[in-house]
Amino acid sequence: MKLCFALAIASTLFGLASLGIAASAGPRFYGDPPDQHHPWAIHDGNRPQPKVVTPGTFSTPDQAGKPPSDAIVLFDGTDLSKWQNDKGGPAPWLVKDGYMQVVPGTGEIRTKDQFGDCQLHIEWAAPAKVEGDSQGRANSGIFLMGRVEIQVLDSYHNITYADGHAGAVYEVNPPAANALRPPGEFQVYDIVFRRPIYRDGKAVDPGYVTVFVNGVLAQDHTMLEGGTGHMTRSRIGPIGDKGPLSLQDHGNPMRFRNIWYRELPLRATDGGTDGYLTPEATLAKRHQIAASIREDAAKLANSPNPLPEMLRLLESLVYEKDEPTLQKASTMADQYVANLKQLPADQLSGKKDEARQVRDAFNYLTKFKILPADFAPKAILAEIIKDQGWDRRRQP
């Protein structure tokens, strides 16, 4: 069954390409059409392809891994040129052997970059020599946008309050698991951060953070409650659109290495076009897609071969009703089937695959009421296909 399905798709793509229609992005007239919350059809051939990213490599205890190709590197182990102190001066921490180290008493450092939604990778190590306990043992913090703290602490065989362990959204939510390695070894945090989105003083999206500690899920899409603090409950509210990444000086010589981030695509609540959109946002995007397809159709105009233009015009109607486009495409469809009927038998036989593909497009458009059920070219084309026996199965 899967093989037959794959062959059918391949045949469709080949046929569309033979008609002069861009087929590299996938088949047209195929899956369910757009609706009031989704501007794209299912399996939409017009939907943008995902960008290609070369993956990085994983770290080992002795060697930092490499970031993916689209990552913005904040610290590669060589210098602190992308960091500053809290007053905008040079970052005063130590750089040695591929890591940076807190110089106690010099204060936090923060990135010169300001960013919001991101995938963040950061590795840290507590001193191998254990000193103190609870929050007094190898403490630091990672502050997203300078406001939301993901706790850094030597939690290995160390009891402290639950919302203060390594991997906690500090004072808000404990980690789901304590997955730390022994002190002296580098711990790996992978964080997905979505900032709160507010409009007119109301939360459109409260924001979320997901954290993996050494590959173990510690925060599972945890809702944000505004910025974090200490001993005082966070207040739900906006925290801005962008901010720096800050690393805390808590008086311990913590080490950090291999720090990079990737900017994330927009959410549906923030202007993105993937996901469950509002009717207004969906309508606007469908209008944009239809306009783009009509522009493409105009470039395909070719009197000796009008079929590619006609199909693209019909395709634009999947996204947006437009009477002039419908009239033009209908006229072209009338002409197309009339020309087929006039072809001599030896030339008509060469139109078999083309005619069936156009028939399938007409069937799709009438099924979803984009064209009227009594669309005349559809009936005429069906009659031609039937008379020629082009849908008959071969006898064994």
3-state secondary structure of 274: coil
Q: How do strand 246-247 and strand 216-223 relate by DSSP bridges?
A: unpaired
Q: Which of 180, 128, 184 is nearest to 155 (CA)?
A: 180
Under-50 pLDDT residues of the chain: 1-24
* DSSP at 149: E
Q: What are the distances in angstroms from CA 350 to CA 106, 126, 310, 347? A: 80, 74, 20, 6
Q: What are the distances in angstroms from CA 176 to CA 83, 119, 138, 231, 373? A: 31, 20, 21, 21, 56
Beta strands in 277-390 (DSSP E): none
Residue 6 confidence (pLDDT): 38
Residue 21 confidence (pLDDT): 42
> Tens digit of pLDDT for each residue in 250-285?
999 999 999 999 999 999 999 999 999 999 999 999
- Contacts of the segment 304-307: beta carbons below 8 A, 24+ positions apart: 305/20, 306/332, 306/335, 306/336, 307/19, 307/20, 307/336, 307/354, 307/358
Q: Which of 259, 261, 267 is nearest to 195 (CA)?
A: 267
Token code pair at residue 338: 């009339």
Sheet of 109-111: strand order equals 83-85, 109-111, 246-247, 139-144, 148-153
89 CA to centre of own chain = 36
pTM of the model: 0.86
Token code pair at residue 388: 């020629």
Token code pair at residue 233: 């409950």
Q: Which of 147, 140, 146 is nearest to 189 (CA)?
A: 140
Residue 394 confidence (pLDDT): 56
Residue 26 confidence (pLDDT): 62
Residue 3 confidence (pLDDT): 37
Residue 328 confidence (pLDDT): 97
Those residues whose C-beta lies under 8 Å from the C-beta of residue 330, and which sit 6 or more positions away, are: 375, 377
Q: Which of 84, 166, 73 is nearest to 125 (CA)?
A: 166
3-state secondary structure of 83: strand
Q: How many CA atoms lie within 13 A of 31 on its CB side?
A: 15
Those residues whose C-beta lies under 8 Å from the C-beta of residue 392, and which sit 6 or more positions away, are: none
Domains, the chain, with CATH or none:
9-50+273-388 (no CATH), 72-270 (2.60.120.560)
Q: Which of 190, 69, 64 is nearest to 119 (CA)?
A: 190
| Residue with tokens 């306009």, as numbered in its chain | 291
Token code pair at residue 24: 């590299």
Residue 255 confidence (pLDDT): 98
| Residue with tokens 């009659």, as numbered in its chain | 383
